Structure 1
Amino acid sequence: MNPMLPELTLSSLDLDRLELLLRSLSASDPSRLALEPELNRATVLEPAAVPDNVVTMNSTIRLRLLKSGEEPCLTLVYPKDLDASGQKVSVLAPVGSAVLGLKEGDRIHWPMPDGDIQQIQVVQVLYQPERSGHLHR
């Protein structure tokens, strides 16, 4: 594993659903090319065993953009669950695939739409389905 990349943890349920989603995309789809390596390097646990500070699918998290200090709250969703609220991010979006499997305190460097590289930190997992007992969502 690349020592510059934080460890990732996924639930087996999320992995199964994400692999099915990836199979629906072409092999050259940029979203697939970004997400597939992340899934391949993750530690996979049964949903009930996922630590409660890990970003899983349908988790609501508070991020910190370290350069600006902004702290947006976002819910990580499957593409079918996106809406116009601006409070949800698809797992197929670059930042979505980047935060999946991270834990509170983890930081990543991420290219922003303007071309700048920004360091992003997972500040808090506000809601996690596994922690709330929603294991078969």
Structure 2
Amino acid sequence: MKPSILVSWLDMDRLDRMLDSLPATQAAARDALLDELGRAALAEPWEMPPDVVTMNSRVRFSFDGADEEVAMTLTYPKDMHGDPDQLSILTPVGTALLGLKTGDTISWQRPDGAMFELTVRGIEYQPEREGVFHR
């Protein structure tokens, strides 16, 4: 069972528009993100809890219960600039992170069919927490 997720209506609107413009070659990524968004509860951006992963958040997470953490910024594909610390929302890990809160763990399927478990360890930056809504 997947944990519940929370998404701001502003992120939801931006993600819907992004999904509408994706080419057919990205159908699998689109479908995975649509499935996640379909189970999301919506919140006002200014009422987003500070421990929830939103778009453009810098999040620390680990895989499969490991102590080693990774810190990346969850990014829209249009904003990807080759920075190794950016993580597209269209990747399996990016889609899995959206809407989780610190401490949540989710099991997710990789494109090769293998499963991974991802745990949110912390959120270093969240735009909503900083009052940044125009991103």
SS in 2 for 1:29: helix
- Give the aligned partner of residue 134 of structure 1: 132
Q: For residues 13 and 58 of structure 2, what CA distance do their matches in structure 1 show?
A: 20
Matches within 5 A, 1:77-96: 77-96=75-94
User: Which ranges of structure 1 fall in alignment gaps of 5 or more residues?
Assistant: none
The root-mean-square deviation of aligned C-alpha atoms, in Å, is: 1.8
- Alpha-carbon offset, residue 116 of structure 1: 4.2
- Give the aligned partner of residue 8 of structure 1: 5
TM-score by length of 2: 0.91
Name segments (4+ residues, structure 1) moved above 2 Å: 25-28, 66-70, 110-118
User: Which ranges of structure 2 fall in alignment gaps of 5 or more residues?
Assistant: none
> Where is the helix percentage greater, Structure 1 or Structure 2?
2
Q: For residues 105 and 67 of structure 1, what CA distance do their matches in structure 2 show?
A: 12
Matches within 5 A, 1:33-112: 33-112=31-110
Determine if contact 1:55/1:128 at 8 Å carries over to the other structure. yes
TM-score by length of 1: 0.89
Q: For residues 116 and 12 of structure 1, what CA distance do their matches in structure 2 show?
A: 32
Determine if contact 1:67/1:118 at 8 Å carries over to the other structure. no
Q: For residues 6 and 123 of structure 1, what CA distance do their matches in structure 2 show?
A: 15
* Number of positions where the alignment pairs a residue of Structure 1 with one of Structure 2: 134
Determine if contact 1:105/1:121 at 8 Å carries over to the other structure. yes
Could you list the per-position Cα deviations for residues 38-88 of structure 1 after superposition, in whole angstroms to 9, with x for gaps in the alignment? 111101111001100000000000001234432110100000111222101
Identity in percent: 47
Q: For residues 113 and 29 of structure 1, what CA distance do their matches in structure 2 show?
A: 12
